Amino acid sequence: MSSSIPNLEPKSDHWKNAPWLPAFLLILVQAGSGMRDTPQFSFFLIYLQERLGLQAVTISSVVAGAQFVGMATALLGGAIAARLGAKWVLVGGLVLSGLSSLVFQVHSLEGAALLWLLGGAGMALVTVGGASYLTRIGERGALGILAAFYAMSMTIGGSIGNPLAGLLIERYGYGAFSWFAMALSASIILAVIFLMAHFQGQALEAVSVRALWSGMISTTRQANVRLLIGLRCLPTIYYGMLTVHIPLLLNSLSGSKVLVAAYITTTLIVASVAQLLAGRAADRWGARLPTLAAYSALIFSGIGLTLQVGTVWGLFAFGVLGNAAAWSLSTMMYLWVNDGVPKAEHPPTFGLLHAVWSLSMMSGSVLGGLSAFGLAGLPFLVASLFNIGSIFLILVYYGRNQMTIRPRLARPD
């Protein structure tokens, strides 16, 4: 009888050491964040308009403020993650994002703005911490498909969270959704704290403002990181235009909200499939080939939108193509960093790239505003042709590092 006793403890703890657990938990965190963040953003805008009686200009200012806070936090978060570890940056971001859900229980502009700014900081930390953790647990030959599932999990979470949030708000009010979002955040935080492994890239040390600034400057001086800034910036400018202006143009031409909803749904489905295909292709042939294909598709979609900007079918088809290409490139970003940046530099690099993403999204919205001056197709053409430079950058990037990864099934030398 005593011989069976030693086997009990290993069996009970075996699942905690399972190799799939870190990836599963990370995807679960991303899906849970999508369940909270996607509907929270949509209904926050409506809450400010309906309950606080704010004008569109004021609402836009609050949203833009959160983007600026997120940009600054991403820069600091990357440096902090390099010292404290991606797990604790992720926990900090989840805490701030959870607190931002209290925004639906305040009745003043000042309180709502403060909580939303905290949410912007939280989202940046979650982005940096999650991306840093992803490249730490991902291995070559599998990182592409893992990155694709990681990126998709936010969409899946949002698809579940949107109707659930609508039901809660319609039946029980904004307060009920607020408590649900906070409870969801608490569950995710506990799972991360007690179940997610902690990887420490370097010895723990005091984090000073001078050390953080020095770390950021050191990161931006690296030639590979500068190339990554261009690779991240140029397609995001184009994506920022698509996100804001295609739905508006479709609504203006057709007057159909159903058509706009169908466009958004189609975009999510096609882009998710494109991410999976890009991730699998990267695992098999390396990241350079699917990256070149995605940039080419993005340029083609911009030319198509320029020529067909006055037609519903053109906006629909080329808009879906452009979004699919941009989402595929967001999956490739994790592989670019993994292929050309040392592991210890991943956190500050992801922080810098998230800041670049924020600025590029705002730039895309501004550039798209040129359509108001009777040049509806020109912004799409300009933003898409920027990415001819991206093709040059990706060739230089992989040429510098000689990082064209062999197919996983290739015969060894």
8 A C-beta contact, residue 324 and residue 286: no
Separation CA 45–CA 67 (nearest Å) = 15
Candidates 132, 75, 68, 67; CA nearest to 351 is: 75
**Residue 8 or 342, more confident:** 342
In which region does residue 27 sit, left (phi positive, over 0), alpha (psi from -120 to 50) or beta (all else)?
A: alpha
77-121 pLDDT, tens per residue? 877 777 778 889 999 999 999 999 999 999 899 999 999 999 999
Q: Are residues 188 and 229 located together in one domain of the fold?
A: no
Interval 391-402 mean pLDDT: 89
Assess whether 159 and 268 both reside in one domain: no
Q: Which of 163-167, 194-198, 336-340 has the highest mean pLDDT?
A: 336-340
Domain membership of residue 208 (yes or no) is no
Q: Which amino acid is at 373?
A: F
Q: What pTM does this model have? A: 0.76
Tell me how crowded residue 4 is: count the other CB atoms within 10 A of its CB: 7
One domain, residues 170 and 268 = no
For 181-238, write each residue's pLDDT tens digit.
Answer: 999 999 999 999 998 887 655 444 445 555 555 666 677 778 899 999 999 999 999 9
Shared domain check, 184 and 65:
yes
Q: What is the mean pLDDT of the chain?
A: 82
Position 53 scores a pLDDT of 82
212, part of any domain: no
- Which pLDDT tens digit goes with each residue over 343-371? 878 888 888 898 898 888 878 877 766 65
Give the pLDDT confidence score for residue 132 in this predicted structure: 86
Query: What mean pLDDT comes out for the span 334-345?
Result: 89
The residue from 163, 196, 229 where one domain ends is 196
- Domain of 370, CATH number, reads 1.20.1250.20
pLDDT bracket for residue 411 (50, 70, 90): very low
Distance (Å, rounded) from C-alpha 401 to C-alpha 107?
A: 54
185 plus 238 within the same structural domain: no
pLDDT for position 222? 86
- If asked whether residues 83 and 16 sit together in one domain, one would say yes
In a domain, 72, yes or no: yes
What is the span of the domain harbouring residue 337?
219-402
- Give a yes or no: residue 211 inside a domain: no
